[in-house]
Amino acid sequence: MDSHIYGATRDLSLLVLSLLFLSAYALPATSSQINSNSVLVALLDSRFTELSELIEKALLLQTLEQAVTRHNITIFAPQNEALQQNIDAEFKRFLLEPRNLKSLQSLLLFHIIPKRIESYHWLHAKHATLSGPHLNLKYNHLKSEHFVGEAKVTRPDDITRPDGVIHGIERLLIPKSVEEEFNARRSLRSISAVLPEGAPEVDPRTNRLKKPVPVPVGAPPVLPVYDALAPGPSIAPAPAPGPGGPKHHFDGESQVKDFIQTLLHYGGYNELADILVNLTSLASEMGRLVSEGYVLTVLAPNDEAMAKLTTDQLSEPGAPEQIMYYHLIPEYQTEESMYGSVRRFGKVNYDTLRLPHKVVAEEADGSVKFGQGEGSAYLFDPDIYTDGRISVQGIDGVLFPAEEETKPVKKIVPAASKVAAKSRRGKLMEVTCSMLGALRQDHRFTSCHS
| Digit-coded pLDDT (tens) for 28-55 | 443 456 677 788 888 887 788 888 888 8
Q: Which amino acid is at 38?
A: S
CA dihedral sign of residues 175, 181, 185, 191: positive
Together in a domain, 65 and 156: yes
Q: Are 83 and 172 in contact (CB under 8 A)?
A: yes
Together in a domain, 178 and 229: no
Domain boundary among 185, 210, 242: 185
pLDDT band at 400 (very low <50, low <70, confident <90, very high): very high
Q: What is the CATH number of the domain that holds 51?
A: 2.30.180.10
Together in a domain, 165 and 242: no
Together in a domain, 391 and 274: yes
- Long-range CB contacts (< 8 A, 24+ apart) of 29-32? 31/69, 32/65, 32/66, 32/69
Report the range of poorest mean pLDDT among 16-20, 43-47, 236-240, 379-383: 236-240
Domain contains 400: no
pLDDT value, residue 198: 55
Together in a domain, 59 and 140: yes
**160 DSSP 8-state letter:** E
pLDDT value, residue 22: 45
Q: Which residue has the higher pLDDT, 311 or 203?
A: 311
Domain contains 369: yes
pLDDT value, residue 85: 73
Together in a domain, 234 and 326: yes
Domain contains 159: yes
Coil, helix or strand for 172? coil
Both ends of the chain: CA-CA distance in Å? 164
Domain contains 418: no
How far is the C-alpha of 244 from the C-alpha of 292, rounded, in Å? 9
How far is the C-alpha of 11 from the C-alpha of 447, rounded, in Å? 157
Q: Are 157 and 76 in contact (CB under 8 A)?
A: no
Domain contains 153: yes
Domain contains 362: yes
Q: Which residue has the higher pLDDT, 399 or 373?
A: 399
Rounded to 5°, angle at Cα 223 from 284 and 282: 15
**How many domains in the chain?**
2
Which distant-in-sequence residues (6+ apart) come within 8 Å of 71 by Cβ?
A: 114, 115
pLDDT value, residue 426: 57
pLDDT at 396 over 90: yes
342-352 pLDDT per residue, tens: 998 889 999 99
pLDDT at 106 over 70: yes
Together in a domain, 158 and 273: no
Q: Which of 125, 132, 130 is nearest to 176 (CA)?
A: 132
pLDDT band at 359 (very low <50, low <70, confident <90, very high): very high
Sheet of 134-140, strand order: 112-113, 73-78, 164-169, 151-161, 145-148, 134-140, 125-128
Together in a domain, 181 and 245: no
Together in a domain, 270 and 326: yes
CA distances for 221 relative to 28, 144, 244, 292, 380, angstroms: 66, 58, 9, 7, 31
pLDDT value, residue 244: 43
Together in a domain, 158 and 268: no
Average pLDDT over the chain, rounded to whole? 77
pLDDT value, residue 88: 80
pLDDT value, residue 291: 86
pLDDT band at 390 (very low <50, low <70, confident <90, very high): very high
Say what the pTM is: 0.40
Rounded to 5°, angle at Cα 174 from 168 and 176: 150
pLDDT at 165 over 60: yes
Residue 3 burial by Cβ neighbours in a 10 Å radius (0-12, 13-18, 19+): exposed
Domain contains 324: yes
Q: Which residue has the higher pLDDT, 333 or 47?
A: 333
Domain boundary among 133, 161, 185: 185
Domain boundary among 132, 162, 185: 185
Report the range of poorest mean pLDDT among 272-281, 393-402, 424-433: 424-433
Report the range of poorest mean pLDDT among 82-91, 249-258, 432-441: 432-441
pLDDT at 102 over 80: yes
Together in a domain, 116 and 234: no
414-448 pLDDT per residue, tens: 544 444 444 445 555 666 677 667 666 666 656 66
Domain contains 433: no
pLDDT band at 328 (very low <50, low <70, confident <90, very high): very high
pLDDT value, residue 27: 40
**223-254 as b/e, with b when 16 or more CB fall inside 10 Å?**
bebeebbeeebebebbebbbbbeeebebebbe
Residue 104, domain extent: 39-185
Q: Which of 158, 154, 185, 147 is nearest to 169 (CA)?
A: 154
pLDDT band at 339 (very low <50, low <70, confident <90, very high): very high
pLDDT band at 411 (very low <50, low <70, confident <90, very high): very low
pLDDT band at 224 (very low <50, low <70, confident <90, very high): low
Together in a domain, 141 and 230: no
pLDDT value, residue 439: 64
pLDDT at 234 over 70: no
